[in-house]
Structure 1
């Protein structure tokens, strides 16, 4: 009786697993189809490689840049799409790749914002590389709700601060935000990474970069110097004009200017 029960349970699990694999395959195919349609592919790399006209088991695992968990089950583990010349905004359809752990879009020509709902689109991602593109806007706070080990977003056009919630990403082993337009205080837990990983962000401060207090003092001093220069120039102009108006005999004018001086006085 117990043996029959175990056999029935095993068959039930096998049936559930098989249906999940098939369902997962369909979703992953939808993921790649949608992604392909949402990006600009000027070099025709995806167009020539990502052919959906076949029904061979695991066929999407042969696509350029696609890595599957198993060659036969069509569940996408990673997308390595770097250096393909792809353009457009952040790709659509990634939410259908429910087993995706790695996303590498580096060294392309993507632009626009990183989606604010990126957590929903790539829930289980552990590796994210968007470096050397033209992504703009702020770093979405949603990234802090992901279990990311690697975040590479250097050499883009990102603005604003690194979200303070990054302090909660204790599992991070690599982070690079260099060469953007970021500003503000670097979250304290990120000070373990090299200063070069934060460089070329003019307004960014705090360990491992320069202390924010000194940076703010310097900025304030420069502002004061600018203000004092402007005020000094304005005061000098007013004093000179008044002196010239009321005491013209103190100034040396050429003969040509004398008529004009007398008329003013």
Structure 2
């Protein structure tokens, strides 16, 4: 996204922010309340921090802005800083109702499971996302929040490749995917970040890390296979099926039912 397009998007968001509070049917604050209620219900809170602080039995205008970890701007939820609260469970639900959310920090908790594949739709305006020091697993979602300036997913259990869509994160100024189980070639646009941003992933290679020729051979093989599957799944599947069928038909013709007219055209290859 160009700088002009980003500025236009931000101005449109400001216009929405200035007009949404006058909506008679569903005000911005009601959406934010729905967001926080859903987040609270979807996570495990063994220390009772959200349970004691996020009290929705309050009619005061803007009362949610006093909740632990909630930051507001213009009585809208602008940021959720839920770091180091001992929260557990999977990635919180309901963020799509926090339509003015710019920053999300879930670091230093005990979250697990995958990062939602549609996180870019759930939190369309995120500029800062910190999921570090949890136990998130699975692959990094393709098309992850393209307005991000800051992305920290360090010290999880993420696997697979760094999506090539990261080349489109043009506003990214801070990145860490360190200490995961990632492999493959680092997208060229990310070579501007220090090697420490990628350390602790034995299968990663390319600038700013070492040359791929020095990377574990098995990791590179899996990188190639995974890349083929993602880019050419249908073509590879069709080609493999054809080859297997061709070989089986010529080496084991008795396993197939052919028309008598076709039998003269079946030959063995010695």
TM-score by length of 2: 0.72
1:1-265 superposed matches below 5 A: 16-20=19-23, 23-70=27-74, 73=75, 75-143=76-144, 145-215=145-215
Distance 2:113 2:19 in 1: 41
Distance 1:20 1:200 in 2: 49
Distance 1:46 1:93 in 2: 15
CA contact (8 A) 2:130 2:152 kept: yes
Over 3 Å counting, the alpha-carbon distance change for 1:168 and 1:142 in structure 2 is: closer
Secondary structure at the residue paired with 1:48? helix
Distance 2:169 2:209 in 1: 20
Distance 2:219 2:39 in 1: 45
The equivalent of 2:8 in structure 1 is: none
Distance 1:102 1:39 in 2: 18
Q: CA RMSD in A?
A: 2.0
The equivalent of 2:265 in structure 1 is: none
Q: Structure 1: 5+ residue runs without aligned partners?
A: 1-12, 221-265
Q: CA deviation at 1:142?
A: 2.3
Distance 1:63 1:149 in 2: 26
Over 3 Å counting, the alpha-carbon distance change for 1:98 and 1:218 in structure 2 is: closer
Q: CA deviation at 1:16?
A: 4.8
Report Cα offsets for 1:28-84 as digits up to 9, x if no partner.
0000000000000000000000000001001000000000012xx3x1000000000
Over 3 Å counting, the alpha-carbon distance change for 1:184 and 1:30 in structure 2 is: same
Query: When the two structures are aligned, how many residues end up with a matched partner?
Result: 203
Q: CA deviation at 1:215?
A: 2.2
Distance 2:96 2:31 in 1: 9
Q: CA deviation at 1:217?
A: 6.4
CA contact (8 A) 2:203 2:219 kept: no
Q: CA deviation at 1:214?
A: 3.0
Q: Structure 2: 5+ residue runs without aligned partners?
A: 1-15, 221-270
Over 3 Å counting, the alpha-carbon distance change for 1:18 and 1:203 in structure 2 is: closer
Q: CA deviation at 1:19?
A: 1.5
Instruction: Find the structure with the greater CA-based Rg.
Output: 1
CA contact (8 A) 2:21 2:29 kept: no
Over 3 Å counting, the alpha-carbon distance change for 1:16 and 1:160 in structure 2 is: closer
